[in-house]
Structures are given as C-alpha cells and as structure tokens.
Chains A and B, each alone.
Chain A
C-alpha cells in the first residue's frame, strides 16, 4: 500500500491536522536533561460534527459523527514537551467532550463528564505533554452516559507522542493501526440498538460489538512491506468492547511497548491480546519471501458470560493483509537491545491499598454518582490498587490522570515494569497495580472501558488533592 495512505502517520498528519506549529515557543517546559528539539506549541482545531461518509469501500454512505469530517479523526503527532492547544468545537446535537486517553494533564483538560461542552459550544484544551511519556494514546468523547453512542458514531482518533531520544531507528516505517468495529443496517445506517430491545440488552451486557472490523477506518486494508524490512506498528484498541487477540500469519511479533510507551526490552510473542482501550507497539520483521502475503487476524477470545456469549464468538476475523513486494530482500536494520528502561515505582512506602471489586456494571457494588467521591488521595503519594473481577466477563479497568504499573495478575508477578492506563482484568481474575499520583489535583474517573458498562455507571471518582 502506498505510504500516503492515512495509516502512514508521518505523511498524513501534517496534511490532515490543520496543524499549526507556532514559530516561537511560549513558555518552555522544564529543561530536559538531554534537550531534544526546542519545545513548541501545537495548536489545532478539532470540530465534532455530523457528516456523511462511505465507511466501507463501495458500500453505502453512512451518517456519522466525525472529528474534522473523518473516521477515525486525524492522528495527533506530538512530541514530549509540546504545549498543546486544541480548540474543540462541538457541532453535535448533544453535549460532548474530548478525553485525551492516557495523557497526564490538568483536570479541566481531561474531557471527563465533569466538563461537558454543550451543543454548539467550544472549549480549549490546553496541556503540556510531560517528558518521559512518549507512547501511543487516543482521544474520544467522554460525556456522562453517552460515550458509547458517540464513539459508535465515529468519534475517536489516535495520538502519538514522540521522544527526542527514541531508541528505535527513525528509519523504521511506522503505521498507526486504530482498531474499531461497527455494525450497520441495510442501507448503511449505523445500527445502534434500542436499549429496551433484546439486542440492546445484549449490548448493555457485552458492550456493543460490530461484525465489521475497521483498521484505521478501512476494512481489510493492505500494508506493503519489503522482505527484510522492519516496521513499527502502533496499535490502538478503540473498540467499545471487542478484545483483539492478534496474530500475524507466519510471523512472530516483537512486542516493544504498551499504553505508555516502550519497554526496557522487546518481548517475542506468537500472539498479543489487546484489551479495550489498550495500546501496543510491535515491531514486524519482514521475514516473508518477496511476493507473499500474510494476514493479521483477531483470533477467538472468550471474554463473555454464558448468558450473552455471541453465537459467532469463535470466528476468527481478518484485519489486514501484509503484502510483500517483489523487490529483493533488504538487510534487516540493526535493532537496539535496550529500548527504554522503566524504573519500577517504589512499593515500599504506600499511602493506601484499595480493593476495587468489579461485577457487572458495578464497582464495589455501586453505580457511578458524579456527586459522590469514592476515593480520596493526596498528590505525590503512592497507592496499590487491587482490581478484583468477580464475574464471568472481562472488564478493562482504566484510570484517568495517572499512569500506573501492573504488579501482578492473579498473583503472578508482572515480568517487568511498564506504563499502563488500562488493565484488562479477565473473568474471575485479579490484577494489582501501583500508582503514584504525580500530576494534577482534581476529580479523576476510574471505570470499566467497555463503553456500555461505563455509560451504565461502572465508574467511580478519585479525588486527588494537593
């Protein structure tokens, strides 16, 4: 596939973003140890508005809600240290927000249900991307009770944060793969079930899944690769509920990073499971022969309770085709052994240990109440949260405002520290993570990232005070 496709971030972003990089940086952020490029201000406008698009090649047109008329919205290509100013214009018929999933930013910039932007209204999101947070993130609306409905209509997009000292060769071709799914009525309309209908009940239970799976807005796109080449893929699970158990035919994946960026070392994987809201960075090594093809597929993954497990849950899904061109193999580039060391958070001095019990639509037996604070903490302190999933369905647990490190899953220690903001807790399992409240005071949501669960109140409020 030609590099000018939207999947190829470097070329697409400048054109797509109406991105203005201010010539003179305003306030430079804290002096970086190894100064990269000068700090800059990235200023852009994102408009959420109804649009009519052909989402499937040759298919019907569909009424969508889109950021800047595109599904997914434009990929934001940022650098550590950037000061970011997003002028959000809400041209939707209802309140919305933009939540910058995974980024560390002030409470008013979080785009949580606490700061809705009314229809016709505007809001400026202003934040600085902290040093050390290079990684793959995403953005989507997060209004009270309506996140699922708005994302289903097309509102989501990827964010890439780059480090000045990225250890991977800049020459690796890079692709941002935003995974999403949807379902359509005959004629092309997005099929959002009446909540009272049987299908609506199943959606409420499972989270809404669609039978059409998109990779960066396209069904079964092709990516080109040269034999011997190594590509860097940043994969975002932007689906409301679908978990992707990814496997690339005939290839092993070198898993080099998760939500908050690179690991200390890559990990060889035959397959990689990406829970809802999670991201992964992988290196795809072009070990195939010229002229051949390999499919990236989502293998069956049983995250369901028996009552609502879909009949076709065990059907694998094809996501994209990796096509080797006919050119002669190139010598694989040298890859560094050590990527980005991640220092483990100190679990020695822990201010609190908390248990979060997940059941269907509930955290600690409660539905979300915006007027209630469920957890109080102090800025700068460290806590350990134990997330216990008591029921027979996976629940991806997401914390706003602060990244964390998973300590263990079901008692099995995590092999190495990495930065996460979502941890998928499989049915009947427990995950523990350590979090240090380095960032900003405010009220931060924690919730199940199955959007239907979140909208049904599987969410709580953490208040962090100075």
Chain B
C-alpha cells in the first residue's frame, strides 16, 4: 500500500541499530518564517490548498482512508481491524520477523479530536512536526528558529516522529504549504475518536536514525550537487536521446 518513497523512508531507518550516535540535523538550516499559532480563521482557499497537499502526498495511505477524503477512516489513524494493516515494523524485523530490535509504529489520528487526535495541538505544533519531525505531544508549542539542538528553540533532546512518517521529505515543502496542511487538518477535517496505540521506538526517540548523514541537510544543499546538473539544451538532447523531451526551463 505504501508508495515507493515511503518504503524508502522505512528502509533508511531500518539500519538504525548500527547508526552511531552522530549529531542530529545540521546547523546550517535557515529559520522558519513565523508560524501562526492559530486564532485567525483560515480562508477557504487555504483549506483547499491544504487538502490538495494532503491528498497528493498520500497522507491517507498511512493515516487512514486513501487519497479520497470521502473514504472510511480518512486520516483517523491506525485501526487494529483495518485491512491491509497500517502497522509498521521498523528495524531488522522488517525483513526477518524474529530479528531484534523490532519496533511497531502506527500512524496517528490526524483528525482534530481532542482526546485522541490533534485537537489539543496548535497549528504551529503540526508545522513543527512536518518541518522538523518533532512529536507534537512532546515538543513545546514555540516557534523554532534553528535546528541545532538547544538553540533557537530547537529542543536540546529532540523527540522525533517514528518512521516511516516521511517528514524528512515533507520538510522540504515551503512554509506556506506546511501551514496550509496544518490549517486543513485542524479546521476542515471532521474529528473522529480513535485512540491509536503508541508507537514503539528506541529510547533516543530516533535521534540516531535522523542524522544529517542519513537524511541529508535541511534546507537541501545548493543546486546543483555532484549528482545533479544544470542542463543545457545540447546536453539534454544528447544525454537522454529523447527528442520529445520538453526543452529545459531556465
């Protein structure tokens, strides 16, 4: 059910047991723009933008339902009876069932129910979850201006969302896009009461699985890196041999 890039996220952390304790996330990140902590009513246009992002990023694939907002259990989180199961096994046991460590993780209820969903979290906390991977239930509701632990409101001991939540990919969305998603989840999804059992995880809350070495820096390295190129028309034609390819944009 999960898409290839989701599985890749899981695979990247499957080797977590061997990952050495390395410093978390680089210091080079740029501060996030101020994020509204809620209060003002979002516009319909913003909610529709957030809705589109939630659908085209496959949030429902893991968080319930499907890319169809009318589907049963849409965004309501893991349910024990759902088929196929939305429970993940992270660690060596992903391929060898008996291997250890083995952590079962479950996508959480993203509907704004107070007791079991995101109702008690602010949009800023949801923003920080998507931008920095910080668990909203364990991270202060503050504006974060750096990614060096202990500085700029970045927690000294960050607690990260369990894999395969693809926040290392989602964080590259623009500030406004993340705000749109948060606004949609908080204001435009109907609350559903569904208590998702807590995800398991290592005592470092995945810090050693989310090092810069493993998930890259935020923001991404300047374009082009060694694996990218600044295309010219000639190279594009020679390189791909595909004459129907559209001309590269400047």
Q: Name the residue of chain A whose CB is nearest to the CB of B137.
A: A359
Say yes or no for B175: interface residue by CB 8 A criterion. Answer: no
CA distance A308 to B202 in the complex (A): 7
CA distance A308 to B201 in the complex (A): 8
Say yes or no for B57: interface residue by CB 8 A criterion. Answer: no
Residues in A whose Cβ lies below 8 Å from that of B159: 360
Residues in A whose Cβ lies below 8 Å from that of B115: 388, 390, 428, 430
CA distance A188 to B22 in the complex (A): 34
CA distance A362 to B155 in the complex (A): 13
Interface membership of chain B positions 28-51, coded 1 if the CB is closer than 8 angstroms to chain A and 0 otherwise: 000000000000000000000000
Residues in A whose Cβ lies below 8 Å from that of B138: 359-362, 391
CA distance A205 to B157 in the complex (A): 11
Say yes or no for B199: interface residue by CB 8 A criterion. Answer: yes
Determine whether the beta carbon of B203 is less than 8 Å from that of A365.
Answer: no
Determine whether the beta carbon of A390 is less than 8 Å from that of B120.
Answer: yes
Say yes or no for A51: interface residue by CB 8 A criterion. Answer: no
Say yes or no for B195: interface residue by CB 8 A criterion. Answer: yes
If the complex has contacts A359-B138, A365-B141, are A388 and B114 also in contact, measured as CB distance less than 8 A? yes
Identify which of B120, B199, B202 contacts A388 (C-beta below 8 A). Answer: B120
Say yes or no for A354: interface residue by CB 8 A criterion. Answer: no
Task: State which of A34-42, A139-147, A196-204, A242-250 sits at the interface with chain B.
Answer: A196-204
Q: From residue 188 to 227 of chain B, which have CB atoms closer than 8 A to chain A? A: 195, 198-205
Q: From residue 117 to 142 of chain B, which have CB atoms closer than 8 A to chain A? A: 120-122, 125, 137-138, 140-141
Determine whether the beta carbon of A360 is less than 8 Å from that of B137.
Answer: yes
What number of residue pairs across chains A and B have CB atoms under 8 A from each other?
A: 51
CA distance A359 to B159 in the complex (A): 13
Determine whether the beta carbon of B120 is less than 8 Å from that of A306.
Answer: no
Determine whether the beta carbon of B141 is less than 8 Å from that of A307.
Answer: no
Identify which of A201, A307, A357, A430 contacts B157 (C-beta below 8 A). Answer: A201
Residues in A whose Cβ lies below 8 Å from that of B203: 198, 201-202, 205, 307-308
Say yes or no for A106: interface residue by CB 8 A criterion. Answer: no
Residues in B whose Cβ lies below 8 Å from that of A388: 114-115, 120
Q: Name the residue of chain A whose CB is nearest to the CB of B198.
A: A392
CA distance A366 to B120 in the complex (A): 13
If the complex has contacts A201-B203, A201-B204, A307-B200, are A390 and B137 also in contact, measured as CB distance less than 8 A? yes
CA distance A390 to B115 in the complex (A): 7
Q: Name the residue of chain A whose CB is nearest to the CB of B197.
A: A392
If the complex has contacts A308-B203, A391-B137, A391-B138, are A357 and B120 also in contact, measured as CB distance less than 8 A? yes
CA distance A204 to B120 in the complex (A): 23
Chain B interface mostly: loop
Identify which of B114, B140, B199, B205 contacts A366 (C-beta below 8 A). Answer: B140
CA distance A198 to B205 in the complex (A): 12
Chain A: interface size category: 20 to 34
Say yes or no for A305: interface residue by CB 8 A criterion. Answer: yes
Residues in B whose Cβ lies below 8 Å from that of A5: none
Chain B: interface size category: 20 to 34
Determine whether the beta carbon of B141 is less than 8 Å from that of A428.
Answer: no
A391 nearest CB across to chain B (Å): 5
Determine whether the beta carbon of A307 is less than 8 Å from that of B120.
Answer: no
Say yes or no for A269: interface residue by CB 8 A criterion. Answer: no
CA distance A81 to B204 in the complex (A): 51
CA distance A286 to B63 in the complex (A): 56
Identify which of B116, B121, B122, B205 contacts A307 (C-beta below 8 A). Answer: B205
Say yes or no for A52: interface residue by CB 8 A criterion. Answer: no
Residues in A whose Cβ lies below 8 Å from that of B204: 198, 201
Say yes or no for A367: interface residue by CB 8 A criterion. Answer: yes
Interface membership of chain A positions 368-396, coded 1 if the CB is closer than 8 angstroms to chain B and 0 otherwise: 00000000000000000000101110000
Interface membership of chain B positions 50-86, coded 1 if the CB is closer than 8 angstroms to chain A and 0 otherwise: 0000000000000000000000000000000000000
Interface membership of chain A positions 385-424, coded 1 if the CB is closer than 8 angstroms to chain B and 0 otherwise: 0001011100000000000000000000000000000000
Q: From residue 147 to 191 of chain B, which have CB atoms closer than 8 A to chain A? A: 157, 159
Kindly list the 3 A-B residue pairs having the minimum CB-CB distance in the complex, ordered from nearest. Answer: A365-B141, A392-B198, A306-B200
17 contacts between A and B (CB under 8 A): A201-B203, A201-B204, A306-B198, A306-B199, A307-B200, A307-B205, A308-B203, A360-B137, A365-B121, A365-B122, A365-B140, A365-B141, A366-B140, A390-B115, A391-B137, A428-B115, A430-B115
Q: 4 more A-B contacts (CB under 8 A) besides A205-B203, A362-B141, A367-B140?
A: A390-B120, A390-B137, A391-B198, A430-B115
Chain A positions within 8 Å of B, measured between CB atoms, are 198, 201-202, 204-205, 305-308, 357, 359-362, 365-367, 388, 390-392, 428, 430
